């Protein structure tokens, strides 16, 4: 029998001879020869007689498959159709897309039956069933009822303020599915969210939970994959890749913090886990819940249009009030100090008097505080005051970040060098740090509050799963007085003792060359502020936002706790400029070792795209091609980068046609220039 097979390679499906004795079925995995290698493949359809006759006539030899892939289950039809949609929509080979559906290691080799997740806290499991059931408030109860009563596919937006108890609604919906013998999938955007979430789920549901994310070892991932695939686990919690685990009885999908940009994959298959999960739910005919206090404008637009059912949680579940937000205008602060002719010598330059006093009061009350700054290190650059030369990465068009006293690092390619005492250019000036980072905050706070117990959560400090669990446990058990961190601490974490949050420099997120910059800034400010005072009674948590731009829209609407007002203003702006969600956006990125050659290639592809727009089926479809132009990060890892954009409702269809044209003319293009097509692009730097 001749079958078309999707092979694990950047190729279209190929034809192979499959022995009838294998009882081949669509969705079955096999091992096939490919050149000198053997690779996995997925059976698609029996080839037609005409196809096999044509192959013989053109003197192609149909190779025989090596063997069935016995350690891989057959994929069901609905999931296989979903994989085919993913490959087509995101312009990726079907075989490589399908490969994501299987674990990194073989099933054999150390897996023990009933091995529970390595991340589940034993104390949480022991408390399962013993803790009193959580009493949902009326809004939570109504949301859970409406989600659970809907049969078949429905998309639900659970729109609740920070601390409104969205997780309790998830748990209630999951328990209803488990009672029907079904499984549930919960996707979270950040590894930092999983330890707390797993403990809460284990305390309620017991040990029948599996976990998949990047901080697990390949064996742990494989074991957890099999527990979910065999229905040994009822609930799978994980990052975006967990979406591909073929759970046999899946009855509910939950996307927590659905607005997070980390749900978008930037390499290989450039899929968005939220959007892909919605299509999977459609194929499987199951409900999907998107939860957020600050929904993405795409999701909000769909809720306004009636595509998604919206359920509101307008108040915090603990009856705690929303935090009181103070905006500190750093411009007037500096002006007052200039007029006075002095400033407090014992106060670091980055902290205002108001934030310092609030931090002192919080520590004196024995409560916890968190300081947020989305920059690592001591300073984001080092420059020579004599000649103005900056320390820059030789491989990337970015400044080197200072860590410690003399360690200069590139956060993109990991290039390292030691800070020189004398400038290498002018041989006179002494290079000085410029700016600030979380490491500097920690050093200054140790001097300012020597008795305070500090912890820092950023990528420099948190390098493993154990580091992450220890940091979160330290804050939960009140072993930490002040938590300092980047966006790792901004989302989803719930610390009962945390009553003060300081955003040290809100402006970091404002002025990026990305039309989503304001949306992401508002989401970040709201989410960080939402960590404060979630369990306070009788008074409100405190939030201090330090900024040089106090009238920025993201700050104005954060101050008023007004997501709907922000969304209304931002959607109007997007509509005027035909940016998503008003139109679709596809990015084409070009990278190569020679700038002129790379730009020339981008220009040729841009001309081809404009020619395609003028012919059927794209004529008159309102498509725009922008660029090409240098990317904001014009050079990374010794590759010069250019990009262009296609805007319009038919942008993904044009991108697919353009991709086919590029493939046909690949030999005419410089081999060293890489071309990547990103459908529904989210990261534009």
Task: Kindly write down the DSSP assignment for every residue of 357-369, as one continuous string.
Answer: HHHHHHHHTT-EE
CA 367 – CA 356 distance, rounded (Å): 15
Q: Tokens representing 360?
A: 């002192």
Higher pLDDT, 427 or 72: 72
In a domain, 95, yes or no: no
In a domain, 572, yes or no: no
In a domain, 599, yes or no: yes
In a domain, 600, yes or no: yes
In a domain, 406, yes or no: no
pLDDT at position 292 over 90 = yes
CATH code of the domain covering residue 45? 3.40.1440
Same domain, 365 and 510: yes
**pLDDT tens per residue across span 113-125:** 444 455 565 455 5
Average pLDDT of 440-468? Answer: 90
Q: Are 500 and 358 in contact (CB under 8 A)?
A: yes
Same domain, 333 and 444: yes
pLDDT for 354 equals 94
**pLDDT tens per residue across span 354-386:** 999 999 999 999 999 999 998 888 888 898 888
Listed range (121-125, 157-161, 223-227) with the worst mean pLDDT: 121-125
pLDDT for 114 equals 42
pLDDT for 489 equals 80
End-to-end CA distance of the chain: 49
Same domain, 22 and 169: no
Average pLDDT of 324-353? Answer: 77
pLDDT for 140 equals 96
Same domain, 473 and 602: no
CA 44 – CA 160 distance, rounded (Å): 43
Query: pLDDT band for position 225 (50/70/90)?
Result: very high
Same domain, 71 and 144: no
Listed range (184-198, 428-442, 565-579) with the worst mean pLDDT: 184-198
In a domain, 250, yes or no: yes
pLDDT at position 558 over 50 = yes
The distance from CA 267 to its chain's CA centroid, rounded to whole angstroms, is 12
Residue 12 parent element (H or E): none
Domain count, the chain: 4
Range of the domain at 544: 324-378+436-561
In a domain, 206, yes or no: yes
pLDDT for 343 equals 55
pLDDT for 150 equals 86
Q: Where are the alpha helices (DSSP H) in 584-650?
A: 595-613
Mean pLDDT computed over every residue of the chain: 90
In a domain, 408, yes or no: no
pLDDT at position 54 over 50 = no
Q: Which residue has the tokens 């220890």?
A: 470
**pLDDT tens per residue across span 293-338:** 999 999 999 999 999 999 999 998 878 899 999 999 998 876 666 5
Same domain, 218 and 359: no
CATH code of the domain covering residue 479? 3.40.50.300
Closest residue by Cα to residue 14 from 57, 49, 50, 61? 61
**pLDDT tens per residue across span 645-667:** 999 999 999 999 999 999 998 88
% the chain with pLDDT above 90: 70
Q: Are 482 and 454 in contact (CB under 8 A)?
A: yes
Cα distances from 401 to residues 390, 420, 633, in angstroms, run 11, 14, 16
Listed range (127-136, 228-237, 593-602) with the worst mean pLDDT: 127-136
pLDDT at position 112 over 70 = no
Same domain, 364 and 508: yes
Same domain, 270 and 213: yes
Q: Are 233 and 209 in contact (CB under 8 A)?
A: yes
Average pLDDT of 124-152? Answer: 79
Question: What values do phi and psi take at 512, rounded to 5?
Answer: -75, 145
Q: Tokens representing 380?
A: 């984001």
Same domain, 370 and 474: yes
Residue 456 parent element (H or E): strand 454-457
Kindly state the DSSP code that residue 489 receives in the 8-state scheme: G
Residue 131 parent element (H or E): none
Burial class (CB in 10 A: 0-12, 13-18, 19+), 451: exposed
Closest residue by Cα to residue 584 from 658, 520, 675, 646? 646
Same domain, 169 and 258: yes
Q: Which segments of 1-124 are extended strands (E)?
A: 2-7, 14-17, 29-34, 37-46, 67-68
Query: pLDDT band for position 50 (50/70/90)?
Result: very low
Same domain, 246 and 127: yes
Higher pLDDT, 521 or 685: 521
Taken in order 142, 145, 149, 155, the sign of the CA dihedral is positive
**Strands 309-313 and 155-160, bridge-based pairing:** parallel
Same domain, 285 and 348: no
pLDDT for 36 equals 93
CATH code of the domain covering residue 657? 3.30.70.600
Asked if the peptide bond before residue 628 counts as cis, ω within 30 degrees of 0, the response is: yes
How large is the greatest C-alpha to C-alpha distance in the chain, in angstroms? Answer: 91
C-alpha angle 218/190/569, rounded to 5°? 150
In sequence order, the β-bridge partners of residue 636 are 639
Closest residue by Cα to residue 277 from 301, 243, 236? 243
Q: Are 525 and 560 in contact (CB under 8 A)?
A: no
**pLDDT tens per residue across span 420-440:** 889 888 888 888 888 889 999
The predicted model scores a pTM of 0.92
Cα distances from 62 to residues 2, 24, 53, 54, 437, in angstroms, run 8, 17, 11, 11, 60
């Amino acid at each position: 029998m001749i079958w078309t097979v999707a092979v694990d390679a950047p190729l279209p499906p190929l034809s192979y001879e499959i022995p009838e004795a294998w009882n081949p079925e669509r969705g079955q995995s096999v091992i096939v020869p490919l050149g000198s290698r053997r690779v996995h493949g997925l059976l698609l359809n029996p080839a037609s007689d005409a196809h096999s006759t044509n192959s013989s006539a053109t003197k192609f030899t149909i190779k025989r498959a090596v063997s069935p892939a016995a350690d891989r289950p057959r994929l069901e039809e609905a999931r296989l159709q979903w994989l085919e949609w993913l490959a087509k929509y995101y312009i990726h080979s079907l075989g490589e897309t399908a490969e994501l559906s299987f674990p990194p290691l073989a099933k054999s080799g150390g897996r023990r039956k009933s091995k529970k997740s390595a991340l589940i806290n034993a104390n949480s499991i022991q408390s399962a069933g013993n803790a009193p059931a959580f009493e949902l408030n009326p809004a939570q109860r109504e949301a859970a009822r409406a989600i659970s009563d809907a049969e078949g596919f429905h998309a639900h937006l659970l729109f609740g303020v920070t601390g409104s108890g969205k997780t309790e609604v998830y748990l209630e919906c999951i328990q209803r599915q488990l009672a029907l013998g079904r499984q549930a999938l919960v996707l979270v955007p950040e590894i930092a969210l999983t330890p707390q979430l797993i403990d809460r789920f284990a305390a309620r549901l017991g040990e029948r939970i599996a976990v998949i994310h990047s901080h697990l070892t390949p064996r742990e991932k494989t074991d957890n994959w099999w527990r979910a695939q065999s229905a040994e686990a009822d609930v799978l919690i994980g990052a975006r890749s967990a979406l591909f685990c073929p759970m046999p009885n899946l009855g509910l999908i939950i996307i927590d913090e659905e607005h997070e940009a980390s749900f978008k994959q930037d390499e290989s298959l450039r899929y968005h886990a939220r959007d892909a999960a919605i299509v999977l739910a459609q194929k499987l005919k199951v409900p999907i819940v998107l939860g957020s206090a600050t929904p993405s404008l795409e999701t909000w637009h769909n809720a306004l249009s009636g595509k998604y059912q919206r359920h509101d949680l307008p108040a915090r579940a603990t009856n705690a009030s929303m935090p009181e937000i103070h905006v500190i205008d750093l411009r007037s602060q500096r002006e007052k100090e200039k007029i006075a002719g002095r400033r407090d010598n014992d106060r670091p330059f980055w902290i205002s008097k108001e934030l310092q006093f609030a931090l002192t009061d919080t520590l004196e009350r024995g409560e916890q505080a968190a300081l947020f700054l989305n920059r690592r290190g001591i300073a984001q650059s080092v420059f020579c005051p004599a000649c103005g030369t900056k320390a820059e990465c030789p491989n990337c068009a970015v400044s080197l970040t200072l860590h410690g006293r003399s360690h200069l690092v590139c956060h993109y390619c990991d290039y390292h060098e030691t800070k020189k005492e004398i400038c290498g250019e002018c041989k006179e000036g002494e290079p000085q740090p410029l700016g600030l980072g979380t490491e500097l905050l920690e050093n200054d706070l140790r001097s300012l509050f020597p008795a305070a117990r500090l912890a820092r959560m950023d990528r420099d400090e948190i390098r493993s799963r154990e580091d992450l669990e220890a940091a979160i446990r330290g804050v939960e058990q009140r072993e930490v007085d002040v938590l300092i961190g980047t966006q790792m601490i901004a989302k989803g974490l719930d610390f009962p003792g945390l009553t003060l949050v300081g955003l040290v420099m809100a402006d970091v997120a404002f002025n990026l060359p990305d039309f989503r910059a304001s949306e992401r800034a508002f989401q970040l400010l709201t989410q960080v502020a939402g960590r404060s005072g979630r369990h306070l009674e009788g008074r409100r948590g405190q939030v201090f936002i330090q900024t040089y731009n106090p009238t920025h829209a993201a700050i104005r609407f954060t101050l008023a706790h007004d997501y709907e007002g922000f969304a209304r203003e931002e959607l109007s702006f997007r509509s005027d400029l035909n940016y998503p969600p008003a139109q679709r956006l596809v990015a084409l990125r070009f990278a190569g070792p020679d700038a002129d050659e790379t730009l020339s290639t981008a220009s040729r592809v841009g001309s081809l795209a404009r020619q395609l727009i003028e012919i059927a089926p794209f004529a008159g479809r309102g498509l725009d091609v922008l660029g090409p132009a240098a990317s904001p990060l014009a050079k990374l890892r010794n590759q010069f980068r250019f990009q262009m954009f296609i805007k319009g409702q038919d942008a993904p269809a044009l991108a697919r046609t353009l991709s086919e044209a590029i493939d046909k003319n690949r030999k005419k293009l410089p081999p060293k220039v890489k071309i990547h097509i990103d459908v529904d692009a989210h990261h534009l730097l």
